[in-house]
């Protein structure tokens, strides 16, 4: 039987394809040159174009100045970094330099996967970053990451709606109190066409991830949820811990000054409603300014305001989990990796990275850079809030991810939706929650 070309062609194509794959795979091996040059992998989670550009530019500068220690830029993603790192650590193939955030370091640090940087970092870097920030990456006396960028939560405000309502514009020196904020939200809430439906809500709380907001904002009213007792963590949910959560619950379920529909949204999802005058105020992370600036319609006026104060010296306090740079314990070149981190976080470089990510540098020198003190795009408000930022109470709590996913997230979502009351929420967070934490602390 004579074979037709159509029958043999796929087989030949398959063979060529397989061969090409093998050749391509073999040809792309990453064995470095055998000339004593060290190659370090830097896993970066930068994702916004300006930020990626800033990171790559710094890597290029390092490589130009350090021909013996080359850094290879490896792009990672915030969505999957934990699983990616976990697998790489277990397999002994982790990148040398790891970009992450402080809340993800706890288990990796306790698990022995990250190098203690205490003796690897230059003293001037240690001195330039406040102790508060170092507290976010210090576990059992070891320093497992350099906290280099952080961001407060702020209120992004529709300038025209605030002006129409004639409300006082808060500053970091004279912020709204939480009570005043409730009144302002009521003033901003409008039924403009008189059809009995609210057309503009005072505030839209995006609560797709409600836990970190609820915990971090509780600091302003003297709460913290996680308390250390005899070296062990315990969740308590007293009046100071729940004050902000109660306010949000009231705004959604009693006052009608915040829409229920936004509770399931992420920060980005609330922006269309914000631009359409449906929401007057958005509590968002400082870096969301980038999206607001990029997506705002021409001529749309917006400003950055501090979150309300709970009163007293710590009234503006809020918890943060800074972005960090760590070194893998398995790295063969830990000192070189730490040197690269010191280079990246040098004050002038930290400013470049902060501007690229629309965040605040932790470095005191960098924070004083004139380019960050400008009124433009709300930079100054952020810089003025930097002193009020505290390590998030969740940092260093073993079992926090499980507590958050299994207990706190559904419990807070139900509470904000009005499905359960405060007593039920407290019971869930503490009774069931502490059982989970206990398991990690035995």
Partner 1 sequence: MSTTTARTTARTAERTRRVGRVAGRTGQYAALVLYLVFLAFPLLWLISTSFKSPQELASIDPTWIPREPSLDNYRAAFDAQPLLRAAFNSLLVAGTSAVIAVAIAVPAAYVMVRHRSRVTRAGTAWILVSQMFPLVLIIIPLFLILRNLRMIDSLPGLIMVYVVWSLPFALWMLQGYVKAVPRSLEEAAAVDGASRLTTLRSVVLPLLTPGLVATLMFAFVTAWNEFFFALVLLKSPEKQTMSVILTLFVGDEGAADLGPLAAAAFLATLPSLLFFALLQRRLVSGMLAGAVKG
Separation between Cα atoms, residue 441 and residue 232, nearest integer Å: 7
Full DSSP string of 107-136: HHHHTT-B---TTTS-HHHHHHS-HHHHTT
Please report how close the Cβ of residue 171 comes to partner 1 at its closest, in angstroms. Answer: 26
- Residues 280 and 157: beta-carbon distance below 8 Å: yes
Which of residues 183, 199, 255, 269 is near partner 1 by CB under 8 A? 269
Angle at Cα 249 formed by Cα 248 and Cα 254, nearest 5°? 110
Which of residues 268, 365, 409, 441 is near partner 1 by CB under 8 A? 268
Q: How many alpha carbons fall within 13 Å on the CB side of residue 337?
A: 30
| Binding-residue total with partner 1 (CB under 8 A) | 59
Q: Which is nearer to partner 1, 75 or 118 (CB)?
A: 75
Is 423 a binding residue for partner 1 by CB under 8 A? The answer is no
Which of residues 9, 22, 163, 419 is near partner 1 by CB under 8 A? 22
Tokens of 239: 């009046």
Is 57 a binding residue for partner 1 by CB under 8 A? The answer is no
Separation between Cα atoms, residue 362 and residue 153, nearest integer Å: 15
Query: Hey, how many other C-beta atoms are within 10 angstroms of the C-beta on 141?
Result: 7
Please report how close the Cβ of residue 401 comes to partner 1 at its closest, in angstroms. Answer: 15
Is 95 a binding residue for partner 1 by CB under 8 A? The answer is yes
Separation between Cα atoms, residue 102 and residue 395, nearest integer Å: 7
Is 30 a binding residue for partner 1 by CB under 8 A? The answer is yes
Separation between Cα atoms, residue 219 and residue 101, nearest integer Å: 20
Separation between Cα atoms, residue 125 and residue 97, nearest integer Å: 17
Separation between Cα atoms, residue 279 and residue 76, nearest integer Å: 34
Separation between Cα atoms, residue 57 and residue 63, nearest integer Å: 10
The footprint of partner 1 on residues 272-311 (CB under 8 A) is 272-273, 275-276, 278, 285, 287-288, 291, 294-298
Is 88 a binding residue for partner 1 by CB under 8 A? The answer is yes
Q: Are strands 38-44 and 69-75 parallel, antiparallel or unpaired?
A: parallel
Alpha helices in 33-117 (DSSP H): 49-65, 81-91, 105-110
Is 75 a binding residue for partner 1 by CB under 8 A? The answer is yes
Q: Which is nearer to partner 1, 287 or 413 (CB)?
A: 287
Is 127 a binding residue for partner 1 by CB under 8 A? The answer is no
Q: Which is nearer to partner 1, 75 or 335 (CB)?
A: 75
Is 382 a binding residue for partner 1 by CB under 8 A? The answer is no
Separation between Cα atoms, residue 70 and residue 51, nearest integer Å: 21
Q: Which stretch binds partner 1 (CB under 8 A): 16-24, 121-129, 194-202, 218-226?
A: 16-24
Is 192 a binding residue for partner 1 by CB under 8 A? The answer is no
Is 396 a binding residue for partner 1 by CB under 8 A? The answer is no
Please report how close the Cβ of residue 81 comes to partner 1 at its closest, in angstroms. Answer: 9
Q: Which residues contact 346 (CB under 8 A, 6 or more apart)?
A: 125
Please report how close the Cβ of residue 45 comes to partner 1 at its closest, in angstroms. Answer: 8
Binding site for partner 1 (CB under 8 A): 1, 7, 14, 17-18, 20-22, 24-26, 28-30, 41, 45, 47-49, 52, 72-75, 77-80, 83-84, 87-88, 90-93, 95, 101, 208-209, 266-269, 271-273, 275-276, 278, 285, 287-288, 291, 294-298
């Amino acid at each position: 039987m004579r074979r037709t070309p159509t029958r043999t062609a796929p087989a030949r194509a398959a063979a060529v394809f397989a061969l090409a794959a093998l050749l391509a795979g073999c040809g792309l091996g990453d064995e470095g040159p055998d000339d004593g040059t060290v190659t370090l992998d830097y896993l970066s989670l930068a994702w916004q174009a300006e930020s990626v550009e800033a990171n790559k530019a710094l890597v290029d500068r390092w490589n130009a100045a350090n021909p013996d220690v080359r850094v290879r830029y490896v792009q990672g993603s915030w969505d999957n970094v934990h699983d990616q790192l976990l697998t790489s650590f277990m397999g002994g193939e982790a990148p040398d330099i790891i970009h992450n955030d402080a809340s993800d370091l706890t288990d990796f640090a306790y698990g022995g996967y990250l190098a203690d940087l205490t003796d690897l970092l230059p003293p001037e870097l240690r001195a330039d970053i406040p102790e508060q920030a170092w507290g976010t990456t210090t576990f059992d006396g070891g320093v497992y990451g350099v906290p280099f960028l952080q961001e407060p939560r702020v209120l992004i405000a529709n300038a025209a709606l605030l002006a129409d309502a004639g409300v006082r514009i808060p500053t970091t020196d004279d912020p709204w109190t939480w009570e005043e904020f409730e009144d302002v939200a009521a003033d901003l809430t409008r039924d403009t066409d008189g059809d009995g439906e609210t057309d503009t809500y005072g505030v839209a709380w995006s609560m797709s991830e409600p836990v970190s907001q609820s915990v971090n904002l509780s600091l302003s009213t003297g709460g913290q949820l996680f308390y250390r007792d005899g070296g062990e963590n315990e969740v308590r949910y007293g009046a100071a811990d729940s004050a902000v959560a109660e306010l949000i619950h009231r705004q959604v379920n009693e006052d009608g000054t915040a829409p229920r529909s936004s509770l399931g949204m992420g920060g980005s999802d609330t922006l269309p409603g914000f631009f359409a005058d449906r929401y007057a105020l958005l509590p968002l992370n400082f870096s969301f300014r980038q999206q607001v600036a990029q997506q705002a319609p021409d001529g749309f006026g917006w400003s950055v305001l501090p979150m309300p104060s709970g009163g007293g010296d710590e009234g503006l306090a809020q918890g943060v989990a800074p972005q960090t740079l760590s070194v893998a314990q398995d790295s063969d070149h830990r000192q070189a990796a730490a040197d690269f981190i010191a280079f990246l976080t040098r004050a002038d470089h930290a400013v470049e990275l902060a501007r690229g990510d629309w965040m605040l540098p932790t470095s005191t020198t960098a924070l004083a850079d004139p380019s960050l003190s400008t009124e433009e795009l709300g930079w100054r408000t952020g810089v003025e809030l930097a002193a009020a930022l505290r390590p998030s109470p969740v940092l260093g709590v073993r079992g926090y991810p499980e507590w958050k996913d299994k207990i706190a997230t559904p419990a807070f979502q139900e509470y904000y939706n009005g499905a359960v009351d405060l007593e039920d929420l407290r019971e869930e967070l503490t009774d069931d929650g502490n059982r989970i934490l206990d398991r990690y602390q035995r």
